[in-house]
Amino acid sequence: MQKELAQRLDVSASYVNKVEKSRLHFGDYPSVKFIHRLAEELDADEDELRLLANNVPEGICNCIQERPEAFRKIAELSDRQMDRLLRSVN
């Protein structure tokens, strides 16, 4: 499957493997364009893929900068508390 995905994304299968296993070296991190194409190919959430690649989407970054105290509190929540919070906003 990696080989087919690599062909559709026009990259090498070894690059796809490195991305999947988080074995990229500094400077080799996937570009926003690559992540966008990958999300489309996999029918995945682009923001989630960007976060996994340590590439915080601009909209999320702006929210954090505007309300850092809120995000600090969110980061301190337990999994159970986070689940309750998410249920309350959905």
User: What is the structure's pLDDT at 79?
Assistant: 96
Using an 8 Å Cβ cutoff, are 41 and 47 in contact?
no
User: What is the structure's pLDDT at 19?
Assistant: 86
Q: In this structure, is the dihedral angle defined by the CA atoms of residues 69, 90, 51 and 60, taken in order, positive or negative?
A: negative
Which residue segment(s) compose the domain that 63 sits in? 2-89
Instruction: Give whole-number Cα distances, 35 to 17, 18, 65, 71, 74, in Å.
Output: 14, 14, 23, 25, 26
Report pTM: 0.69
Q: Structure tokens of 7? A: 């062909």
| CATH code of the domain in which 58 resides | 1.10.260
Using an 8 Å Cβ cutoff, are 77 and 89 in contact?
no
The single residue listed with the structure tokens 């570009």 is 31
Residue 85 has pLDDT above 80, yes or no: yes
Query: What is the average pLDDT across 22-34?
Result: 79
Name the domain count of the chain. Answer: 1
